[in-house]
Amino acid sequence: MVFQAIRSRGVTDERVLQAMENVPRHLFVPEDQRDAAYGDYPLPIGFGQTISQPYVVAMMTELLELAEGDRVLEVGTGSGYQAAVLAELPDVEVYTVEIIPELAEKAKETLESLGYTNVHLKQGDGYHGWPEHAPFDGIIVTAAPDHVPAPLKEQLAVGGRMVVPIGPRGGYQTLWKFVKQPDGELTAHNEGGVAFVPFTGEAARRAE
């Protein structure tokens, strides 16, 4: 999977590639999907949610440019797979928020069973981030809002990177990488088209 679907498509950060090799993806998908766990495509995990395709997970992780000692916020824990990949990076502390209680509980069980002590998970609306642990050196959003949530912008450290798919509900989105400048503004880098499940919670209410 790593060689055929990830390295060959341009992901070059060896730490990210090693993280993708280390995480047993089949343990993050439902049992009836495990035969397909290492294919390069998303899979359903219940409640209308998916586990992202491996290439997208690796590419978004690389875009965060995390360094040792960094703190990263993930919005949309889902199965916990992306959090596990982030947690495999050397000396990175992961904070992850999931709005669906059942998915949050299942992800917590999986992550704990695999010994990820550097992952901190809470159930709640990720639109609001996790202000108690801000600022974050990286923020990764794994569901699609139609705008950058203001609390996430505020919780991003100066020089920090935010990777987020933005677009209308029910359509394709553009993946953006934002870098926070000293004046608090974000510089934007278009990273191409993607397809994510839509944001729920506060972001969805604001879009209506």
**Tokens standing for 185?**
């503004």
Which CATH number does 2-207 carry? 3.40.50.150
Half-sphere exposure of 39 (CA within 13 A, CB side): 9
The one-letter amino acid at 25: R
pLDDT of residue 169: 77
Half-sphere exposure of 93 (CA within 13 A, CB side): 9
Cis omega (within 30 of 0) on the bond before 149?
Answer: no
pLDDT of residue 205: 54
Half-sphere exposure of 195 (CA within 13 A, CB side): 8
Q: Which of 8, 52, 79, 113 is catalytic?
A: 52
pLDDT of residue 208: 47
pLDDT of residue 132: 97
The one-letter amino acid at 154: E
Residue 207 to residue 63: CA distance in whole angstroms: 27
Per-residue pLDDT of the chain (208 residues; tens, 9 = 90+): 887 889 889 999 999 999 999 999 999 999 999 999 999 999 999 999 999 999 999 999 999 999 999 999 999 999 999 999 999 999 999 999 999 999 999 999 999 999 999 999 999 999 999 999 999 999 999 999 999 999 999 999 999 999 999 998 777 899 999 999 999 999 999 999 998 988 887 655 554 4
> Are β-strands 71-75 and 136-141 bridged in parallel, bridged antiparallel, or unpaired?
parallel
Q: What DSSP string runs through 167-205?
A: --TTS-EEEEEEEE-TTS-EEEEEEEEE--PBP-THHHH
Residue 133 to residue 205: CA distance in whole angstroms: 25
Task: Give whole-number Cα distances, 191 to 30, 62, 73, 108, 208, in Å.
Answer: 30, 12, 20, 30, 27
The one-letter amino acid at 38: Y
pLDDT of residue 198: 87
pLDDT of residue 201: 73
Whether 79 is catalytic is no
Helix (H, G, I), strand (E, B) or coil at 42: coil
Residue 79 to residue 111: CA distance in whole angstroms: 9
Q: What is the pTM of this model?
A: 0.94
DSSP state of 3: I
Q: H or E element: which one contains 44?
A: strand 43-46
